[in-house]
Structure 1
Amino acid sequence: MSDKSVVFQLLGVTLLWGGNYVASAYLLTAFSPILLAFLRLTVTCLLLIGVCLRRGGIAKPNRQEWALLILIGVTSSLLYQIFYFVGLAHTSAGNAALIIALSPVATAFLARAFLKERMTGFQLLGALVALAGVALIVLNGGNVTDASSGDYFILLAMAMLASSVLLIRKAAMTMKSRDVTLYSTLIGTLLMIPAAGAERLQGHLHYGDHSYPWALLIVMALFAQGMAGLWWNRGISKVGASASAMYMNIPPFVAILVAYAVLGDPIRLAQIAGGALIAAGVAIANAKAKNTSNRGDFVPWRRI
Structure 2
Amino acid sequence: MSRTGILLALLSAVLFGASTPLAKLLLGVVSPWMMAGLLYLSAGLGLASIQIFRAGLRIPAAEAPLRRADLPWLGLVILSGGLGGPLLLMFGLSHTGAANASLLLNLEGLATMGIAWVTFRENVDRRLLLGAFAILAGAALLSWQGRASLDVGAGLIAGACLCWGIDNNLTRKLSSADPVQIAMMKGLVAGAVNVALALGAGGHFPTAGLLAAAGLVGFLGYGVSLVLFVLALRHLGTARTGAYFSLAPFVGAAIAVVFLGEPLSARLLVSGALMGLGLWLHLAERHEHEHVHDELEHEHRHSHDEHHQHEHGANVPPGEPHSHRHRHARLVHSHAHYPDLHHRHTHRRTP
Contact 1:104-1:282 within 8 A present in 2 as well: no
- Runs of 5+ unmatched residues, structure 2: 289-335, 342-351
Contact 2:45-2:184 within 8 A present in 1 as well: no
Q: 1:259 deviation in Å?
A: 1.8
Contact 2:46-2:223 within 8 A present in 1 as well: yes
Question: Among 70, 95, 101, which residue is 2:106 paired with?
Answer: 101
Q: 1:220 deviation in Å?
A: 1.5
Rg larger in structure:
2
The residue type paired with residue 50 of structure 2 is V
Judging by fraction of residues, say which structure has more strand. Answer: 2
Q: CA-atom RMSD, angstroms?
A: 3.4
Q: 1:256 deviation in Å?
A: 2.6
* Aligned pairs (5 A) from 1:57-72: 59=65, 61-62=67-68, 64-72=69-77
Contact 2:247-2:279 within 8 A present in 1 as well: no
Distance 2:66 2:11 in 1: 32
Contact 1:44-1:225 within 8 A present in 2 as well: yes
Distance 2:174 2:243 in 1: 25
Distance 2:268 2:212 in 1: 31
* Aligned pairs (5 A) from 1:113-128: 113-128=118-133
CA deviations over 1:29-61 (Å, ceiling 9, x no partner): 111011111122211111111223415469353
Q: Report SS of the residue matched to 2:201.
A: helix
* Aligned pairs (5 A) from 1:27-46: 27-46=26-45
Question: Among 153, 174, 181, which residue is 1:179 paired with?
Answer: 181
Question: Among 244, 254, 258, which residue is 1:257 paired with?
Answer: 254
C-alpha change, 1:155 and 1:28, in structure 2 (3 Å) is: same
Contact 1:242-1:290 within 8 A present in 2 as well: no
Give the equivalent residue in structure 2 for 1:293. Answer: 337
Q: 1:250 deviation in Å?
A: 4.3
The residue type paired with residue 337 of structure 2 is S
TM-score normalised by the chain length of structure 1: 0.78
The residue type paired with residue 113 of structure 2 is A
CA deviations over 1:228-271 (Å, ceiling 9, x no partner): 44455567778999997786454433323322344332122111
Q: 1:168 deviation in Å?
A: 0.6
Give the equivalent residue in structure 2 for 1:73. Answer: 78
CA deviations over 1:279-301 (Å, ceiling 9, x no partner): 2113324543554634449xxxx
* Aligned pairs (5 A) from 1:215-226: 215-226=212-223
Contact 1:47-1:222 within 8 A present in 2 as well: yes
Distance 2:286 2:210 in 1: 41
1:150 counterpart = 2:194: no
* Greater RCO, CA 8 A, separation 6+: 1
Q: Report SS of the residue matched to 2:170.
A: helix
Q: Report SS of the residue matched to 1:30.
A: coil
Contact 2:66-2:178 within 8 A present in 1 as well: no
Distance 2:263 2:150 in 1: 13
Distance 2:108 2:286 in 1: 16
C-alpha change, 1:294 and 1:170, in structure 2 (3 Å) is: farther
1:25 counterpart = 2:21: no
Q: 1:163 deviation in Å?
A: 0.9
Q: Report SS of the residue matched to 2:181.
A: helix
Q: Percent identity?
A: 22
- Runs of 5+ unmatched residues, structure 1: 298-304
Higher alpha-carbon deviation: 30-39 or 278-287: 278-287
Judging by fraction of residues, say which structure has more helix. Answer: 1
Give the equivalent residue in structure 2 for 1:160. Answer: 163
The size of the alignment, in residue pairs, is 282
